[in-house]
Amino acid sequence: MTPTEAAARTLTRRGLRISVAALAALAGVYVLALGYTPVEARQGVAQKIFYLHVPAAWCALMAFSLVGLTSALYLWLHDPRLDRFAAASAEVGVAFSAVMLTTGPIWAKPIWGTWWTWDARLTLTLFLFFLFIGYLALRASLHDPQERARFSAVVGILGMLLVPFIHLSVYLFRTLHPQPVVLKPSAPSLPPEMLRTLLISMLVFTLLYLGLVTLRYGLALAEEARDEAADAAR
C-alpha cells in the first residue's frame, strides 16, 4: 500500500467514525428538542425546527468561510492539502445549506404564511448556495488537479468578497428574518432549556461537519492514489 493509500484509508475511517458518532448524537438532539425544551408560546411546535435550522446555517456559513480562507492560503502557499480541504468543505457546506434552505421554508409557511420571502438573509444564503454549486460544478468539469486547484481558489476568494456586497445590496429590502437571539449585545433571550439544546445541537452539527469533511478529504486522497496507480501502470 502506498503512503497516500494508507493516509486515505486512515482518514476515511476516522471521518466515518466521527460522522456516525455525530449522527447518533443528532438523534439525542431530536429527543432533547421534542422532550426537554418547552413549547414556544406563540409559534407552538413549529419552533422546534429552530434546533436544526440554526445549527445547519451555522455550519454552512462556517464551511463557506473556511473555503474562502483556504482558497486565499492556497494561492499563496500552493499546498494541495489546502485545496483538498476547500473542496471537502464546499461539498459539506452545500449539504448543510440544503438542510438550512429546506428547514427554513417548512418553518416559514405556518409562521410567516409564506414558504419564501426575499428577505436579506434568505437571499444571501440562497446566493451562497448557488455560488458554491457553481464552485463544485467548476471543479467537476476540470481534470488537471493543479488547474482545478488554482481556478477554484480564485472562485473561492472572489466568492468570499462577494458576500458583503450581496448582503449590503439586499439589506435595503426590509428584513423579515427573526433577529439574533443568542449572539447579540444583550444576554440571550431564550429560556435555559432552549439555549442548552441549541448549543448542544450546534456542537453536534459542528462534529458532523468535521466528520464529513474528514471523510471527504480521505476520499479525495483515495482518488489521488487511484490516479497515481493508473499513471504508474501506464
Partner 1 sequence: MPESLRLALAVAGKDIRAELRSRTALLSAVVFAALVLVVFNFARDPTAIAAADLAPSVLWVTFALAAMVALNRAFTVEREHGAIDGLLLAPVPRGALFLGKLLANLAFVGTVEAVTLPLFVLFFNVDLTAALPGIIGVTALATVGFVSVGTVFSAMAVRTRFAELMLPVLLLPFMVPPIIGAVQVTARLLAGRPLSEMLGWLRLLALYDVVFVTLCTMAFGAVVDE
Contact residues toward partner 1 (CB under 8 A) are 75, 127, 130-131, 133-134, 137-138, 141-142, 146-147, 150-151, 153-155, 157-159, 161-162, 165-166, 168-170, 172
User: With respect to partner 1, which residue has the nearer C-beta, 30 or 118?
Assistant: 118
Three cell numbers written together for 99: 438542510
Question: Given the complex with partner 1, which of 131 and 208 has the nearer CB atom?
Answer: 131
Distance CA 117, CA 99 (A): 17
Q: How far is the CB of 120 from partner 1 (least distance, A)?
A: 11
Query: In this complex, which beta carbon is closest to partner 1, that of residue 124 or of residue 212?
Result: 124
**Least Å from the CB of residue 44 to partner 1:** 35
Residue 90 Cβ vs partner 1, minimum distance, rounded to whole Å: 13
CB of 116 to partner 1, least distance (A): 16
165-to-11, 43, 136 alpha-carbon distances in Å: 37, 33, 22
CA distance 45 to 174: 27
- Give the nearest distance from C-beta 127 to partner 1 in angstroms: 5
State whether residue 2 is helix, strand or coil. Answer: coil
All cell numbers assigned to 222? 483515495
Of residues 2 and 146, the one with the C-beta less far from partner 1: 146
Separation of alpha carbons 13 and 10, rounded Å:
5
Q: Which is nearer to partner 1, 49 or 75 (CB)?
A: 75
Helix (H, G, I), strand (E, B) or coil at 174: coil
Angle at 222 between CA 146 and CA 2, to 5 degrees: 100
